[in-house]
Amino acid sequence: MTIQVKVLARPVADASYVRAMLSGMALTFKHMMNPHKKTEQYPDVKWALSPRWRGTHRMLTDETGKAKCVACGLCPQICPANCIKLVPGEDEEGNRYPLVYEIDEFRCIFCGYCQEVCPEEAIHVGRHYENSEYSREGFVYDLERLTAQTHPVCEMWDPADPKGE
């Protein structure tokens, strides 16, 4: 396979540095006068996230304040990064609940499969991005932390158009 070289006819005889320079200066001047600047005033004005933004997780709770999770084990199963640690437990009435539920946000690739696979709509990826920590351990979110998060969650699809039509 040879590389095809496209040889352009350069109009050397028609080229004018001065003219090109003036048109360039007109362009930069137009940009300078343009009042619509692209700068985001970040700490003052927060970035408007897309409704489908997939950020750090959040565990939704039921009316009693308990996590909705029934420890079915689908999310650790589907997780491609293997970042969810789940130890299931069962109470006297036979309801399953997670004894340990930890997500390592460092390993997470934010694919959102856990949210898609969850039958109880318990685990969600969140519309959130400010999550710096002072230690690596701080990035392993336990159940308590996951339920305590309050940021809005990702809408995996447009609610008005759930089938993506």
Partner 1 sequence: MMLATMASDPVVYGTFYDPAVAVTALPWLLFTILKMVIVFTVLMVGVAMLTLAERKISAWIQDRIGPNRTGYGGLLQPAADGLKNIMKEETYPDAAYTPLFILAPMLSFIPSLITFAVIPFAAPLSTRWGIVEMSVANVPIGFLYILAISSLGVYGIVLAGWSSNNKYSLLGGLRSSAQMISYEISMGMAAVSVLLLSGNVSLQAIVQQQQGMGWNVFPLLIGFFIFCVASFAETNRLPFDMPEAESELIAGYHTEYSAMKFSMFFIAEYSNMVTASALMVTLFFGGWDIPGTQWDNLPPWTFLKCLLTLGFFVAKLLFFLFLYMWIRWTLPRFRYDQLMSLGWKVLLPLSLSYIVITGGAILVLDMLRVPRGVQWFGISPFWAALGVLNLVLAVLVFVILDRGRIISPAYSRLSPIQIARLRAMSAGRSLAAGQGD
Closer Cβ to partner 1, 25 or 148, answer by number: 25
State in angstroms the smallest separation of the CB of 82 from partner 1.
Answer: 42
Q: How far is the CB of 130 from partner 1 (least distance, A)?
A: 19
Indicate the residue among 6 and 163 with the shorter CB distance to partner 1.
Answer: 6
Q: Which residues bind partner 1 (CB under 8 A)?
A: 1-2, 4-7, 9-10, 12-19, 21, 24-25, 27-29, 31-34, 36-39
CB of 16 to partner 1, least distance (A): 5
Closer of 37 and 136 to partner 1 (Cβ): 37
Q: Which of left, alpha, beta for 28 (phi over 0: left; psi -120 to 50: alpha)?
A: alpha
Nearer to partner 1, 4 or 135 (CB): 4
State phi, psi for 66 to the nearest 5 degrees: -85, 150
First to last CA, the chain: 41
Closest CB 23 distance from partner 1, rounded Å: 10
